[in-house]
Structure 1
Amino acid sequence: MRSDVDAAPVLACSEVSKRYGRTLALDGVSLQVRSGEMVALLGPNGAGKTTLFQLLTGLFVADSGSVEVLGADMRRDPVRALAQLGVVFQQPALDLNLSVRASLKFHADLHGLPGAVSRPRIAALLERFGLTPVAAQPARELSGGNRRKVELLRALLHEPRLLLMDEATVGLDPASRAQLVDEVLRARAERGLGVLWATHLVDEAERAQRVIVLHKGKVRFDGPPADLREAQGAPTLQEAFLQLTGGQKNERVAA
């Protein structure tokens, strides 16, 4: 793995706030993700995770504070910032009528990758993800797990430095979910990819190097999973999370 974890962050949010009418969705959020680091973002419903990802992907602009991707400010230089990141959204975002290969070629064209670069890169990623046999099939014929693999492959195709995963394993069976996490961790290790993974699934958060707990628009904890358990005096990460966020046992947090 690349040894640049202590280098400048690939993602830096500083005192980010966002309000919708009278609702303060984010209240002075500061966080960082460094190269070669997987950070899990945990938070109950309404914590502000969705709003944060909307700002990180340029869908909305923060009311105050800054979001930088590899030093590019999302407000002043969104094109350069967005070029450095890949995203897998919670909601499926594939054109179901396009073949797998056509979807990937379209994405490569959007990022300005010439065919001499994109063709071998697509072939190598299809092979790596075990998708070569279905490359000519339309996405609608794929299983849910394979569709997610295509979306992850697409997010990695232009070789971003930052990967955003927005509850990307929701609805997948355990085997497909584990495989997706394994592939992300493999990319992190091989290429020094920085990863911010929003999840409700504690076993995914346990595999991260750091956990950030977002609650009521504020960062309540930022550190290794073991430190969160220790700080709350809890035997499991799930119990520590529930204690820190007010013991909301009805939230969608899965062991």
Structure 2
Amino acid sequence: MTDTLPLHADNLHKSYGGKPALKGVSVSLKAGEMVALLGPNGAGKSTLLQLLTGLFSPDQGTVVVMGHDMQRHPSRALASLGVVFQQTALDMDLPVMANLLFHTDLHGLPRAVAKQRIEAGLARMGLADQAKTVVRSLSGGTRRKVELVRALLHEPRVLLMDEATVGLDPASRQQLLDTVRGLCAERGMAVLWATHLIEETKVADRLVLLHQGSVRFDGSIEAFMQASQGGDFQTEVLRALEKPGIG
């Protein structure tokens, strides 16, 4: 079963200095599915993303990407992952094109293929005229768009977004959401969108509520509302995060 899923994380535990950050978290993504990982700051979202991307190893549990175990075969697993972290990973003093070519070089893409994908990616995000622009001179929203272009250059099957809209204005935030939502449909890509903003989860196929290192709910928004007490979506999310479980 797990081999057929783009991403499957099972029973993940992680502690720092004896303090649990994740307590047996499991999450799976299906092809073409956008899953919203929602939780307040400190819920464990970033820790989960760090384990899913192989930056840290879990104390217990497994992460499998396209059938490849992250701990046993990290290079194979990472080849199918695209990531946009909360903190920018771009070199601020290099032009956009240089940043993107560095990424394609890491993935071993021939230069001709790389440049073709970069040009197409920048055009898609409305950044065709920004290739020679130094990253530091770009707005926060434009930098996020560049990071998304970079994350997609090696055509990953799984895209992880860690609080990717922090600091963006509403228009830029919505454009990023719409673009990622479209990629799910067009490429069959699986997306895990980690956020603390309730309104961002409404476009997702599935909702995962994470609080204090544990999953409080995992299912469709429709199922979540059916199991609720009849309030509006935001009220019910906040209520779910205040009690041991839901549904």
- For 1:52-67, list aligned pairs within 5 A: 52-67=48-63
Cα distance in 1 for partners of 2:172, 2:207 equals 23
1:123 is aligned to: 119
By how many angstroms is 1:115 displaced? Answer: 1.0
1:51 is aligned to: 47
TM-score of the superposition, structure 1-length normalised? 0.91
1:14 to 6, 10, 35: 10
Name the SS for the 1:123 alignment partner: helix
By how many angstroms is 1:208 displaced? Answer: 0.2
Cα distance in 2 for partners of 1:113, 1:196 equals 25
1:112 is aligned to: 108
1:36 and 2:32 equivalent? yes
By how many angstroms is 1:236 displaced? Answer: 2.4
Cα distance in 2 for partners of 1:193, 1:143 equals 27
TM-score of the superposition, structure 2-length normalised? 0.94
Query: Unpaired runs of 5+ in structure 1?
Result: 1-6, 248-255
Cα distance in 2 for partners of 1:234, 1:112 equals 52
1:143 and 2:143 equivalent? no
Name the SS for the 2:4 alignment partner: coil
8 Å Cα contact 2:41-2:196 kept in structure 1: no
Cα distance in 2 for partners of 1:144, 1:48 equals 25
Query: Unpaired runs of 5+ in structure 2?
Result: none
Summarize deviations over 1:28-56 as a string: whole Å, max 9, x none. 11110111000000112222111111101
2:204 is aligned to: 208
8 Å Cα contact 1:206-1:237 kept in structure 2: no
8 Å Cα contact 1:11-1:33 kept in structure 2: yes
Name the SS for the 2:227 alignment partner: helix
Aligned CA distance change for structure 1 residues 62 and 34 (closer, same or farther; 3 Å): same
8 Å Cα contact 2:84-2:148 kept in structure 1: yes
Summarize deviations over 1:167-216 as a string: whole Å, max 9, x none. 10011011111111111111111100000000112221010000001112
By how many angstroms is 1:161 displaced? Answer: 0.3
1:23 and 2:12 equivalent? no
1:79 is aligned to: 75
CA RMSD of aligned residues (A): 1.5
1:173 and 2:187 equivalent? no
Cα distance in 2 for partners of 1:141, 1:128 equals 20
Moved over 4 A (4+): none
1:101 is aligned to: 97
By how many angstroms is 1:22 displaced? Answer: 2.2
Cα distance in 1 for partners of 2:166, 2:230 equals 26
Name the SS for the 2:8 alignment partner: strand
Give the letter for the 2:110 counterpart: P
Cα distance in 2 for partners of 1:206, 1:147 equals 24
8 Å Cα contact 1:10-1:35 kept in structure 2: yes
1:133 is aligned to: 129
Aligned CA distance change for structure 1 residues 141 and 171 (closer, same or farther; 3 Å): same
Cα distance in 2 for partners of 1:223, 1:66 equals 21
2:193 to 197, 207, 217: 197
1:90 is aligned to: 86
8 Å Cα contact 1:41-1:214 kept in structure 2: yes
Name the SS for the 1:228 alignment partner: helix
Name the SS for the 1:54 alignment partner: helix
